[in-house]
């Protein structure tokens, strides 16, 4: 009987449990494989006592549940692992120990469910001989190799509902409501929820904005009788000639900087160049928590099943992806090459501009 491992790495995302369930059910029912779950992302591969057997029985009921039953970490990286020795912390490469552990456990394959950071680690482990397969995950939808990632549509639904709610209070008070949304260096969440939620202005990382154009739009709206305006700001948005707003760089050994604060800056600037009252909402992790929408449950299930098929076909070093309506696969080496960013001269941006939405350009 084959034995496969599974872990969830990076930030949590609606649909992770649905992937785990898909993997476990398909591995067990279709192939009669055993499944071991590693807890807390790559920590589970490094630290002792962080494994658990996964069976169709113990993944029962997790399909609609947010987060990940295995836990996750966006800090644990076996190639740069933080250890504390005699009270001093240092960074070590423990990847060889991880490979040994996988061999000792008799694993025939390892499923890594993660975003670009985790998939890069998966690819490095594959290059060292580990039979890895990947599942792309992120609410940001910024992985080029797949048309869409699970979690993204749920985040868009949550943000759209927030915008609907902010409309009513904005209209009642004749206010400008600025809403900062997640997405890192890609504006997909802001763009899609901004259009779906009827925003008048959407600021995304791919289109540096001119604050005077933003204010002009708000003032023109007021002149033509619109007494309230919804401004969606992606956390990675930046002014022309300016930089991204960073809350803090690498936190507690984490490798990535935390973005945020641009919503408040834009709000303060709008307050200065219009005579309207402004309020700022930072939606934050509400976009990532809770139950996945139906689309994400289905995509996660398809990815979970397809990644086990990859293992059965011995297609190690590959990742499942969605192309049109089909689930396909791509080499991890290709998948980690580029980030998917919003095209600025076609598609949804042009659709939005055609109905008068401003990107501050
Ligand atoms: O990548 C997903 C994401 O939610 C980004 O949109 C956001 O910038 C980041 O993770 C937040 O990370 P953390 O949960 O570590 O604050």
**Does 44 share its domain with 94?**
yes
pLDDT of 285 higher than 80? yes
Measured distance CA(103)–CA(99) in Å, rounded = 6
**Does 181 share its domain with 224?**
yes
In this prediction, residue 47 carries a pLDDT of 96
In this prediction, residue 251 carries a pLDDT of 53
How do residues 100-150 score in pLDDT, each as one tens digit? 999 999 999 999 999 999 999 999 999 999 999 999 999 999 999 999 999
**Does 299 share its domain with 316?**
yes
Cβ atoms of 167 and 196 within 8 Å: the answer is no
For residue 48, is it within any domain? Answer: yes
**Does 110 share its domain with 244?**
no
- What φ, ψ does residue 208 adopt, rounded to 5°? -55, 135
For residue 299, is it within any domain? Answer: yes
**Does 52 share its domain with 95?**
yes
For residue 348, the surrounding DSSP H or E stretch is: helix 347-354
Would you tell me the crossing angle of helices 152-173 and 188-196 to the nearest 10 degrees?
Answer: 50
How do residues 147-204 score in pLDDT, each as one tens digit? 999 999 999 999 999 999 999 999 999 999 999 999 999 999 999 999 999 999 999 9
For residue 162, is it within any domain? Answer: yes
How do residues 199-242 score in pLDDT, each as one tens digit? 999 999 999 999 999 999 999 999 999 999 999 999 999 999 99
**Does 216 share its domain with 276?**
yes
**Does 141 share its domain with 160?**
no
For residue 360, is it within any domain? Answer: no
- Domain of 82, in residue numbers: 3-150+290-335
**Does 134 share its domain with 70?**
yes
For residue 306, is it within any domain? Answer: yes
Confidence category of residue 345, pLDDT binned at 50, 70, 90: very high
Which residue out of 140, 275, 296, 313 is catalytically annotated? 140
In this prediction, residue 257 carries a pLDDT of 86
**Does 298 share its domain with 207?**
no
How do residues 294-326 score in pLDDT, each as one tens digit? 999 999 999 999 999 999 999 999 999 999 999
pTM here?
0.96
For residue 361, is it within any domain? Answer: no
Pocket residue to mutate for ligand 1, from 117, 140, 190, most atoms within 8 A of Cβ: 140
Token pair listed for 116: 């670009």
**Does 11 share its domain with 132?**
yes
Q: What is the CATH number of the domain that holds 85?
A: 3.40.50.450
How do residues 238-281 score in pLDDT, each as one tens digit? 999 999 999 887 655 555 789 999 999 999 999 999 999 999 99
Q: What is the CA radius of gyration of the chain?
A: 22
**Does 12 share its domain with 35?**
yes
CA 165 to ligand 1 center in whole angstroms: 23
The count of domains in the chain is 2
Q: What is the CATH number of the domain that holds 264?
A: 3.40.50.460
**Does 23 share its domain with 170?**
no
CA 258 to ligand 1 center in whole angstroms: 7
- The Cα-based distances of 97 to 6, 47, 74, 106 in angstroms read 17, 10, 20, 14
């Amino acid at each position: 009987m084959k034995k496969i491992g599974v872990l969830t790495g990076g930030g949590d995302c609606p649909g992770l449990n649905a992937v785990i369930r898909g993997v476990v059910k398909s591995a067990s029912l279709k192939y009669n494989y055993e499944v071991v779950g590693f807890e807390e992302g790559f920590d589970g591969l490094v630290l002792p006592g962080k494994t658990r057997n996964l069976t169709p029985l113990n993944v029962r009921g997790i399909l609609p549940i947010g987060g990940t039953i295995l836990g996750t970490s966006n800090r644990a990286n076996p190639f740069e692992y933080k250890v504390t020795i005699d009270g001093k912390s240092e960074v070590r490469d423990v990847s060889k120990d991880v490979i040994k552990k996988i061999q000792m456990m008799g694993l025939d394959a390892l499923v890594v469910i993660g975003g670009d950071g985790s998939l890069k680690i998966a690819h490095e482990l594959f290059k060292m001989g580990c039979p890895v397969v990947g599942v792309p995950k992120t609410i940001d939808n910024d992985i080029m190799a797949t048309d869409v990632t699970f979690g993204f549509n749920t985040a868009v639904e949550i943000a759209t509902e927030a915008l609907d709610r902010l409309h009513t209070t904005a209209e009642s008070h004749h206010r400008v409501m600025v809403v900062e949304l997640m997405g890192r260096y890609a504006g997909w969440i802001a763009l899609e929820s901004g259009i779906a939620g009827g925003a008048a202005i959407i600021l995304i990382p791919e289109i540096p904005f001119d604050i005077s154009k933003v204010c002009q739009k708000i003032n023109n709206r007021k002149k033509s009788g619109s007494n309230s305006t919804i401004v969606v700001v992606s956390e990675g948005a930046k002014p022309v000639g300016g930089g991204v707003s960073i809350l803090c760089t690498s936190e507690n050994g984490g490798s990535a900087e935390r973005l945020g604060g641009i919503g408040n800056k834009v709000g303060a600037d709008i307050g200065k160049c219009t005579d309207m009252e402004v309020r700022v909402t930072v939606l934050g992790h509400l976009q990532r928590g809770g139950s996945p929408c139906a689309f994400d449950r289905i995509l996660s299930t398809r990815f979970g099943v397809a990644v086990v098929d990859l293992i059965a076909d011995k297609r190690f070093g590959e990742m499942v992806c969605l192309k049109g309506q089909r689930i396909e696969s791509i080499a991890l080496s290709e998948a980690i090459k580029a980030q998917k960013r919003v095209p600025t001269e076609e598609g949804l941006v042009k659709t939005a501009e055609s109905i008068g939405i401003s990107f501050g350009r």
